[in-house]
Amino acid sequence: MKAIAVTDGDTRPQIIEKPAPEPDEGEALVRTLRVGIDGTDFEVIEGNHGGFPDGDDHQVLGHETVGVVEDANGTELEDGQLVVPTIRRPVGESNAFFDRDEPDMAPSGTYVERGIDGAHGFMAEYFTSPPRYLVPIQAEFADVGVLVEPMSNTAKALDHAFASRSAFEWEPETALVLGNGPLGLLTLAMLDSTVDRTYCLGRRDRPDPTIDIIEKLDATYVDSRTTPVAEIQEQYEPVDLAYEATGYAKHAYETVDVLAPNGVGVLLGIPGDWSFEIDGGRLHREIVLSNKALLGSVNSHVTHFEMAKESLAKLPEWFLEDVITDVFTPEEVDDAFERGDDRIKTVIEFDTL
């Protein structure tokens, strides 16, 4: 079968041939329809994140996927059922986090991540998986099901943000999304029905398709080159919820200043090492005296995939059409992994229903 992988010593993904997988007992065979490309894929390709499966000289990419059950193989799934796979798998048989259906909370070293770290991904014509890691979705989501996985990360982040404020009455009215990439735009759309006013931070010049989407969602675009995060509170207003998806390390600390009292900032970006000076005492004092909170969030589990499904069904059709800007075949792998400001979400289509 065809697969798209990065090989050891190479920095460009390419098509390779691999044997089609045979499902073990308790596994289903899934035919891949579409696979999304995101920033994590580029980090894997560049060797800045994750690692190859043990004993292999290549890594099959892809973790944002929608497919159709080709062979249920005696599992509770049905042939022809549309599914989205989760990412994490246990090292070895299982562990307490997976037994509790909380793989997203497992510490490093107790899991692998398909397409990212230690396990091959879904950017291939077929893959196998136990049913517990496959989330059934509606057939009408065949073209947009690749959005479920990134939306599940936001579902978890928001779930934890609200949980951190659950000891008192907290009804956020304002939210700031740091980052106008695909994840930032999906989050902005998901927040549209949760808060009254939203802002989205970026570094783009007009005309730009992401700014068009931001404003079509009735959100305010904030250009960080003219209004840095630390000045948003003064230029606009303090926000109850800040969602960081830039991976720019200073934003984690600047978020404290943009939060309103009792506000919460949730961090999803994964920056590289970077040393810089901050006024730690002032930030510590601000967090304590204003009851602010910062929390990190990574990955998600089945519950959050289910929440993402519900959110996806509520998104306007125009948004889904605008956010998936480019669709390529596997043979167009070189073009698919090109970057450009005119692209938002790029997907590779292996097959159709």
Q: Is residue 16 predicted with pLDDT exceeding 90?
A: yes
Task: Give the long-range contacts of residues 255-258, CB within 8 A, separation 24 or more.
Answer: 255/178, 255/229, 255/294, 256/283, 256/286, 256/287, 256/292, 256/294, 257/229, 257/230, 257/233, 257/286, 258/176, 258/229, 258/230, 258/232, 258/233
Q: What pLDDT is attached to residue 35?
A: 98
pLDDT tens profile 310-331: 999 999 999 999 999 999 999 9
Domains of the chain, first to last: 2-136+324-349 (3.90.180.10), 152-296 (3.40.50.720)
Cα distances (angstroms) measured from residue 32 to each of 123, 160, 324: 8, 31, 18
Cα distances (angstroms) measured from residue 235 to each of 73, 199, 255, 331: 59, 12, 15, 48
User: Residue 165 in contact with residue 293, Cβ under 8 Å?
Assistant: yes
pLDDT tens profile 259-272: 999 999 999 999 99
pLDDT tens profile 117-136: 999 999 999 999 999 999 99
